[in-house]
């Protein structure tokens, strides 16, 4: 049996998947909260690594041009030294989360909620009563 005609004209839009699913929401939440916390630490490490790279390059150039060492051996030795220095510096940077004055972060946040307005030392003016 065959049908005549083309049927009713119905618009069928494309099939879209929306949302990120369970895995996408977990990953996005991790990045949303972890990146702002880790960004300052990563910036310090990158600055230290950049400075160490300049220092290592200078040392390699001195080894090759002044001390007449083999460039391959100099690069290998100096890069090991640089990695050790950066790793030692990273370990020094990890702290216990204490403020410079010795107070912990918990103490700082606890103090913020209890701030009060300082009492004024000026004398209050008294109003005179009018007599009619």
**Which pLDDT score is estimated for 35?**
84
Whether 3 shows a pLDDT value over 50: the answer reads yes
Tokens of 2: 């065959």
| Burial of 45 (C-beta count, 10 Å sphere; 0-12/13-18/19+) | middle
Tokens of 13: 């839009």
**Which pLDDT score is estimated for 74?**
94
**Which pLDDT score is estimated for 60?**
93
Could you report the per-residue pLDDT of 64-80, keeping only the tens digit for each? 999 999 999 999 999 99
Read out DSSP for 40-105?
Answer: HHHHHHHHHHHHHHHHHHHHHHIIIIIS---HHHHHHHHHHHHHHHHHHHHHHH---SB-TTS-BH
Q: Band of the pLDDT at 48, cuts 50, 70, 90?
A: confident
pTM, two decimals, is 0.45
Q: Are 99 and 108 in contact (CB under 8 A)?
A: yes
The residue that leads in pLDDT, 39 or 14, is 39
Could you report the per-residue pLDDT of 100-127, keeping only the tens digit for each? 556 666 666 666 555 555 566 656 666 6
Please, what is the average pLDDT of the chain?
75
């Amino acid at each position: 049996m065959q049908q005549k005609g083309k049927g009713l004209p119905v618009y069928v839009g494309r099939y879209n998947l929306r949302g990120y699913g369970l895995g996408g929401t977990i990953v996005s939440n991790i990045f949303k909260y972890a990146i702002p916390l880790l960004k300052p630490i990563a910036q310090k490490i990158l600055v230290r690594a950049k400075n160490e790279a300049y220092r290592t390059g200078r040392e390699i150039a001195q080894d090759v041009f002044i001390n007449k060492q083999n460039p391959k051996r100099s690069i290998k030795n100096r890069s090991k030294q640089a990695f050790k220095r950066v790793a030692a510096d990273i370990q020094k940077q990890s702290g216990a989360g204490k403020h410079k004055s010795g107070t912990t972060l918990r103490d700082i946040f606890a103090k913020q909620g209890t701030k009060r307005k300082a009492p004024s030392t000026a004398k209050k003016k008294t109003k005179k009563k009018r007599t009619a």
